[in-house]
């Protein structure tokens, strides 16, 4: 479940929100009237609107609704349209539904939510790239929107030429561009390539140049949509420093991001959008916690549906070259065998002297479960029936991640357990009990019954059980090593 919200964190939320009000009291800057220029087909642009001094807010969003028409039938020609006197059919998609909020001068506000919730649409409405279907958006101050870095760059022009064109579109005058030119190039770290056509740039170089131009506009209000992760780690650190400097200067910043750590670190307040509506607005700790809880519930529902499909799968036996016994060294190769387009088939191979019938994931009370969480005590068990006499068989299990990397494997031989001889018709249940220390994700368990030679198998069912582990934010990686951390002054 979502992390518990501690009182000091809530107090920090309150202090962050008050910071925006302090900036608001000291903000009295007026901005000149600047009519919107032609869009030129770009998303990065600067918009200046007249600052009515009586306004207490940098941005006011009042009862805003935005609808899109999705056309699913097109007339083949103008002639047919006129002849049949009909319009194309369409459905309406409600991207935003009656959204209202205000942003104080000097406040940093984050917008989070699942894909398709209306986050990017909202930023485009604030930047005046789009107009609302209903409602009103008021912006008091100059705005720079970092929505699609580098949009408007001409591929056949050099980086130098594109700086002048893109900066002009963003609202800078030529003399100001000339003053800022060296800073833009230095920040982008493209000094050696600035006179090269940008069509020869890598995607990272392209994005770095776009970010460098956009931040040098020096706006009152900065809109950022998932563009902070540009370039390598060192360049990202420079980008974050710029954002922090903007905050210190009392700039108003609105950030859309799926990086909840960044949102929680930078923002005074956070808006949680879901299905085009504001689900929650408040301090970063409280809202991020609610969003994580929502995501966790989505993962649980997905795990339920996935397990329903897994239980319908058909097991298919593969015997290569009519061999009755499959060698252990062939396991990995056979596990990757392509069985065709039928996703309901699982690789299975072995001699058939034993047959694995069923595998289950159980909770501590022995109840069948579709998912588990970090720290849960669970049981993986499978049943097998013998078709022939087998002396001292080996019962084992292997768990892999979605990339095919082995996460864990064990068997009764490794645990020094001798099981004796099984005759035809004997049934056995093999039980593995463990505490989940995996950090989260989807894992697959493959049960096996092998011969005592430790090389050949009676039955092996590849990825028979899917294990959904709800994500845990305590650490990074695959598993938690439960380190004890201490910090001491020396």
Structure tokens at 90: 């369409």
Tokens of 344: 């309901």
User: Is pLDDT above 80 for 148?
Assistant: no
Q: By mean pLDDT, which of 151-160, 338-347, 429-438, 455-464 is the weakest?
A: 338-347
What pLDDT was estimated at residue 99? 94
pLDDT over 60 (residue 228):
yes
pLDDT of amino acid 137:
94
Under the banding of pLDDT at 50, 70 and 90, the label for residue 108 is very high
Under a CB-based contact definition with an 8 Å cutoff, are residues 160 and 193 in contact? no
Which tokens hold the place of 487?
């910090």
Looking at the chain, the domain(s) classified CATH 2.70.50.60 span: 311-470
> How much is the pLDDT for 230?
65
Higher pLDDT, 261 or 52: 261
Distance of CA 227 to the CA centre of its chain: 14
Give me the pLDDT at residue 470, please. Answer: 87
CATH 3.40.50.300 residue ranges of the chain are 7-295
pLDDT exceeds cutoff 90 at 315: no
Model pLDDT, residue 151: 64
341 conformational bin, left if phi > 0, alpha if psi -120 to 50, beta if neither: alpha
**Percent of the chain topping pLDDT 70:** 76
Q: Using alpha carbons, select from 217, 168, 163, 166 the residue that is nearest to residue 193.
A: 163
The chain-wide mean pLDDT, for the chain, equals 79
> How far apart are alpha carbons 456 and 351 in whole angstroms?
9
Q: Is 3.40.50.300 the CATH classification of the domain at 7-295?
A: yes
Segment 400-433, tens digit of pLDDT: 988 888 899 999 999 999 899 999 999 999 999 9
- Give the pLDDT band of residue 91 (cuts 50, 70, 90): confident
More confident residue, 472 or 294: 294
Separation CA 303–CA 369 (nearest Å): 10
pLDDT, one tens digit per residue, over 238-247 is 888 888 888 9
Please tell me the number of Cα atoms within 13 Å of 118 on its side-chain side.
Answer: 26
User: Is the confidence at residue 303, as pLDDT, over 90?
Assistant: no
pLDDT of residue 225: 84
Fold annotation for 311-470:
Coagulation Factor XIII; Chain A, domain 1 (2.70.50)
Mean pLDDT, residues 53-59: 72
Asked whether the predicted pLDDT for residue 343 surpasses 70, the reply is: no
d(CA 257, CA 267): 11
Q: Report residue 170's pLDDT band, with 50, 70 and 90 as the boundaries.
A: confident
pLDDT of residue 41: 34
State yes or no: pLDDT of 18 exceeds 60: no
Q: What is the mean pLDDT of residues 53-64?
A: 81
């Amino acid at each position: 479940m979502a992390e518990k919200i501690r009182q000091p964190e809530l107090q920090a939320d309150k202090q962050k929100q008050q910071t925006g009000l302090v900036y608001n009291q000291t903000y009295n800057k007026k901005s000149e009237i600047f009519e919107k220029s032609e869009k030129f087909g770009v998303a990065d642009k600067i918009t200046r609107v007249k600052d009515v001094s009586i306004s207490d807010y940098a941005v006011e969003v009042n009862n805003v609704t935005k609808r899109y028409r999705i056309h699913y039938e097109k007339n083949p020609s103008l002639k047919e349209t006129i002849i049949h006197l009909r319009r194309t059919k369409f459905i309406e998609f409600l991207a935003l539904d009656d959204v209202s909020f205000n942003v104080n001068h000097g406040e940093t506000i984050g917008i989070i939510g699942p894909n398709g919730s209306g986050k990017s649409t909202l930023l485009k409405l604030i930047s005046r790239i789009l107009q609302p279907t209903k409602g009103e958006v008021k912006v008091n101050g100059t705005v720079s929107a970092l929505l699609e870095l580098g949009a408007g760059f001409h591929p056949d022009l050099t980086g130098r030429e594109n700086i002048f064109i893109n900066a002009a579109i963003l609202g800078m005058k030529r003399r100001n561009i000339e003053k800022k030119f060296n800073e833009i190039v230095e920040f982008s770290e493209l000094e050696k390539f600035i006179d090269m056509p940008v069509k020869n740039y890598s995607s990272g170089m392209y994005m770095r140049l776009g970010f460098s131009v956009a931040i040098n506009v020096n706006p009152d209000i900065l809109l950022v949509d998932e563009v902070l992760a540009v370039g390598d780690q060192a360049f990202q650190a420079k980008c974050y420093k710029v954002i922090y400097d903007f905050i210190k200067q009392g700039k108003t910043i609105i950030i859309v991001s799926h990086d909840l750590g960044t949102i929680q670190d930078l923002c005074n307040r956070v808006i949680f959008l879901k299905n085009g509506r504001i689900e929650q607005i408040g301090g970063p700790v409280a809202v991020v916690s609610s969003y994580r809880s929502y995501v966790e519930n989505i993962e649980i529902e997905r795990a339920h549906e996935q397990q329903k499909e897994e239980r319908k799968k058909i097991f298919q036996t593969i015997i290569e070259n009519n061999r009755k016994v499959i060698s252990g060294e062939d396991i990995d190769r056979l596990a990757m065998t392509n069985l065709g387009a039928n996703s309901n088939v699982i690789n299975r191979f072995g001699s058939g002297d034993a047959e694995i019938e069923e595998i289950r994931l159980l909770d501590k009370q022995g109840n069948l479960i579709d998912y588990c969480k970090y720290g849960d005590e669970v049981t993986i068990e499978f049943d097998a029936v013998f078709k022939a006499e087998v002396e001292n068989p080996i019962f084992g299990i292997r768990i892999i991640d979605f990339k095919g990397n082995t996460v864990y494997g064990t068997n009764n031989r490794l645990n020094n357990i001798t099981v004796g001889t099984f005759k035809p018709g004997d049934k056995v249940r093999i039980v593995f009990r463990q505490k989940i220390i995996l950090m989260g994700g989807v894992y697959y368990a493959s049960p096996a019954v092998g011969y005592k030679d430790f090389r050949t198998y009676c039955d092996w069912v590849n990825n028979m059980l899917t294990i959904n582990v709800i994500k845990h934010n305590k650490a990074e990686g695959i598993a938690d090593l439960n380190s004890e951390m201490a910090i001491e002054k020396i």
